[in-house]
Amino acid sequence: MLPEQWETFKRAARLEKMDKIPMAMIIDSPWIPPYLGIKHMDYYLDPEVWFQSNLKIMREFPDIIFVPSWWMEYGMAAEPSILGAKIKFWQDNTPSEYHTLYRLEDIDQFPEYEVDADAFAAMTLHRIKMQKQRIFDHGYTLPMITSRGPLCTAGFVRSTTSLMVELVENPEGCHKLIDLCTRVVIDWLKAQHAAIGDTVEGIFVLDDIVGFINEEHYMEFAHPYLKRICDAFPKDWVKLYHNDAEVDACLDHLPDAGFNVLNWGKQKDIREVKQRVGHRMCLMGNVNPLEIAVRGTPEEVKKATFEVLEGGGDRGMILSVGGGTSPGMPRENMVAMVEALREYNAKHVSSAGSAR
């Protein structure tokens, strides 16, 4: 994103009254390579392909804030690889992870981790250092550091199914694993901050596994750890949380964890989310990312976009899809969202500002 786009994002995150509602999309390797017709392996392993791909996207859609901005990632590989998860790479898809912690008690045998040297975290940090000045020289900024959350990371290391069972059957062991993953997340975010430098003013945490548990388990196994992550960084930073699974159990508590922007899924209508936390968080969403954004016509996309905008109101709102940009979302549907937002802003937000 451009520095002025980041300033807009920050204002929205702080629930300021905006002259126009902005649009932001989470983009990464699931969407970019197939959109551009390139191999995932080339995107991950050829620095020039990666740079030119991101530059093309930024220039093709100048009205969209792309979050977190020039995302240097290997799918979801970095965080679990720090703790020894097996990672498989594919020519035409994002990497997949396979757990290697077969028993919770074996966690005591884990070697000390070192994010600056471990697996894909080390490679990511090296690539950030290689590319950051070139990104800055083209006029863009790197304002956010990004990580999968502690439950997501724990699920990759242990297996999500086993983790869900053991939250009930072995809570002590789960706390030990989630605590370790929380330390990894914090250290991983801080390592990215050190690699990027002073342009960083925000964190972006993705944890869909939180959507698999009830409210009681959220308060025990997720909330304290998410709060530790937020508390590890400056109070005035933007703190964006992504969960496009179910958010009912965690929704009311996320502001208390320290997050001020929420990107959630298609399951919950924006009006309910606005009513429950809209006075405490900026809402980044939530056009249906698959049935509408990928499979719908531009007319259907525009209709759904207007519905989201009407439900979100003109304060604390960033237009997006309900989650990340799904593979296969075509250009015409991205453009349809932009056009709908432009029409909405012209009719609603700008006129309301003039009336004040």
Q: What tens digit of pLDDT does each residue of 247-296 get?
A: 999 999 999 999 999 999 999 999 999 999 999 999 999 999 999 999 99
Residues 174-190 have a mean pLDDT of 98
Query: Which candidate, 194, 81, 222, places its Cα nearest to that of 128?
Result: 194
* pLDDT digit string, tens, across residues 197-226: 999 999 999 999 999 999 999 999 999 999
Statement: residue 355 has pLDDT above 80: no
148 phi, psi to nearest 5 deg: -65, 150
148, pLDDT greater than 90: yes
Cis amide leading into 234 (omega within 30): no
| Residue 207 and residue 151 in contact, taking contact as beta carbons nearer than 8 Å | yes
Query: How high is the pLDDT of residue 350?
Result: 56
Q: How distant, in Å, are the alpha carbons of 51, 109, 239 from that of 184?
A: 27, 16, 18
Percent of the chain with pLDDT over 90: 97
Residue 354 has pLDDT above 70, yes or no: no
Residue 134 has pLDDT above 70, yes or no: yes
SS3 101: coil
Number of H helices, E strands in the chain: 16, 10
pLDDT at 185: 98
Does residue 38 carry a pLDDT above 80?
yes
State the virtual CA torsion across 65, 68, 70, 76 in degrees, nearest 10: -140
Report how far residue 52's alpha carbon sits from residue 111's, in angstroms, rounded to the nearest whole number. 38
Write out pLDDT tens, residues 315-352: 899 999 999 999 999 999 999 999 999 999 999 865 65
Q: What pLDDT score does 348 carry?
A: 83
Question: What span, in angstroms and rounded, lies between the C-alpha atoms of 325 and 328?
Answer: 9
Report the pLDDT value the prediction gives residue 356, as an integer from 0 to 100.
45
Section 184-189 average pLDDT: 98
Given this model, what pLDDT does residue 349 score?
Answer: 64
Read off the pLDDT of residues 88-125 as tens digits, 9 standing for 90 and up.
999 999 999 999 999 999 999 999 999 999 999 999 99
Q: In the chain, what are the domain boundaries?
A: 3-355
Residue 144, SS3 per DSSP = strand
Instruction: State the amino acid at position 123 in one-letter form.
Output: M
Question: Helix 298-312 and helix 270-277: axis angle, to 10°?
Answer: 20
Report the C-alpha gap between 143 and 140 in whole angstroms: 10
Q: Does domain 3-355 have CATH number 3.40.50.300?
A: no
Residue type, 102: Y
Q: What angle do CA 27, 212, 169 make, to 5 degrees?
A: 140
Spatial distance between the Cα atoms of 177 and 227, rounded to a whole number of angstroms: 17
- The pLDDT-based confidence of 313 (bands split at 50, 70, 90) is confident
Indicate the average pLDDT of the chain: 96
Q: Are 309 and 347 in contact (CB under 8 A)?
A: no
Provide the percentage of residues in the chain whose pLDDT is more than 70: 98
